[in-house]
């Protein structure tokens, strides 16, 4: 983004303020598109000029595709039923990803929002308009929230904000993220979403590098979680992986207890050994009953606020 660009407004028009979030999202989207000239929305900070066709590690360009959109009941109880909108493409490469075929593919699904290189404006396409209408209908039929996820939606932040500008101001919006974004992304998101559901996947940098091909993981995720805890309602989600109770769950749990006491924690125990899990000997099975019991006992001892 140009260094002389005007500062972002204080998010008075954000979620729950009584002012128009739709207008705020539209304004932020216009600013967010400028970031694609030197993209540093995720912590890879690749600097790709996506407006000129360059691709970074996520392989995303200026088009956003949605590979999954429907009402679901498998998320946290206080959010479900949720109308979930999943954008294709991700900046991580988790070998155990249960939607890897689409999550790794920035062109998976139907084209929803496009930004033409010769134009200064983005265009929510027919499918984007259709998705917004379906979200309206789901909310009218007692869905509690609309969740934006991926893949990783941060890499499509300009398009996501365009989509949010089509949603009702009073909708409860949930940002589901891998917490691998940058301060620039956080600034654009500030005040737009009511809830963050943020993954804290790995308890150390070695596991993150080995299983997701990402460096400096711990410091990046902790910075994002600490920010989110003071700017929005936060739910920290951790997927318990077989063989990773001590190296991953324990450090995650201990940090949350020490640094974010009282934060809502969603301990997920439904690991399934799919995608490229077989490349890692410990990930060829599901978690065991003893592992799950020990994980919950640790959470209880540390006083974590586990939610269903």
Domain-located, residue 225: yes
What pLDDT does residue 12 have? 45
C-beta of residue 76 within 8 angstroms of C-beta of residue 83 = no
Q: Where are the alpha helices (DSSP H) in 104-249?
A: 126-140, 157-164, 183-189, 205-212, 217-231
Q: Domain of 92? A: 21-306
- The token duo for 54 is 């360059």
For position 112, what pLDDT does the model report? 87
Distances in whole angstroms, Cα of residue 116 to Cα of each of 47, 234, 254: 19, 35, 47
Task: Determine the angle formed by the axes of helices 126-140 and 157-164, rounding to 10 degrees.
Answer: 50
- Please check whether residue 15 lies inside any domain of the structure: no
Map tokens 């989509």 to a residue: 163
Cα separation values, 103 from 6, 30, 134, 153, 199, Å: 34, 25, 22, 10, 15
Angular region, 142: left φ>0, alpha ψ -120 to 50, beta rest: left
* Average pLDDT of the chain to the nearest whole number: 92
Can you list the residues of the chain whose pLDDT is less than 70?
Answer: 1-18, 115-124
> In this structure, how many other beta carbons lie within 10 angstroms of the beta carbon of residue 94?
23
pLDDT value at residue 123: 59
**How many domains is the chain partitioned into structurally?**
1
3 occurs within a structural domain: no
Residue 4 located in a structural domain: no
Residue 157 within a domain = yes
Cα–Cα distance for residue pair 269/125, rounded to 1 Å? 38
Q: Are 176 and 72 in contact (CB under 8 A)?
A: no
Q: Which helix (H) or strand (E) holds 266?
A: strand 264-268
Domain harbouring 278, CATH code: 3.20.20.70
DSSP annotation of 249 reads: I
- Asked if residue 101 belongs to a domain, the reply is yes
169: its two tokens? 């101001």
Structure tokens at 81: 């039923």
DSSP 8-state assignment for residue 199: E
């Amino acid at each position: 983004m140009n260094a002389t660009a005007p500062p972002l407004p204080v998010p008075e028009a954000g979620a729950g303020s009584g002012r128009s979030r739709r207008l705020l999202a539209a304004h932020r989207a216009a600013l967010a598109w400028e970031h694609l000239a030197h993209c540093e929305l995720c912590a890879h900070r690749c600097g790709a000029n996506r407006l000129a066709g360059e691709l970074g590690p996520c392989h995303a360009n200026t088009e956003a595709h949605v590979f999954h959109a429907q009402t679901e009941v498998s998320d946290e109880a206080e959010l479900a039923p949720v109308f979930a909108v999943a954008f294709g493409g991700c900046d991580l490469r988790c070998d155990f990803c249960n939607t890897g075929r689409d999550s790794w593919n920035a062109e998976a699904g139907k084209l929803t929002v496009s930004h033409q290189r010769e134009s200064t404006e983005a265009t929510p396409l027919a499918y984007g308009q259709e998705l917004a209408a379906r979200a309206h209908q789901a909310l009218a039929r007692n869905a509690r929230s609309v969740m934006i996820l991926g893949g990783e939606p941060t890499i499509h932040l300009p398009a996501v904000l365009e989509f949010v500008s089509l949603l009702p101001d009073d909708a409860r919006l949930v940002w589901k993220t891998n917490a691998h974004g940058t301060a620039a992304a956080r600034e654009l998101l500030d005040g737009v979403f009511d809830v963050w559901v943020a993954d804290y996947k790995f308890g150390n940098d070695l596991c993150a590098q080995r299983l997701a091909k990402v460096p400096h993981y711990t410091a990046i995720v902790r910075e994002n979680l600490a920010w989110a805890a003071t700017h929005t309602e936060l739910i920290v989600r951790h997927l318990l992986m077989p063989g990773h109770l001590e190296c991953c769950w324990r450090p995650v749990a201990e940090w949350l207890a020490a640094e974010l006491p009282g934060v809502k924690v969603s301990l997920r125990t439904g690991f399934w050994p799919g995608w490229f899990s077989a490349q890692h000997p410990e990930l060829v099975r599901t978690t065991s009953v003893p592992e799950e019991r020990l994980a919950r006992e640790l959470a209880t001892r540390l006083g974590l606020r586990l939610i269903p």
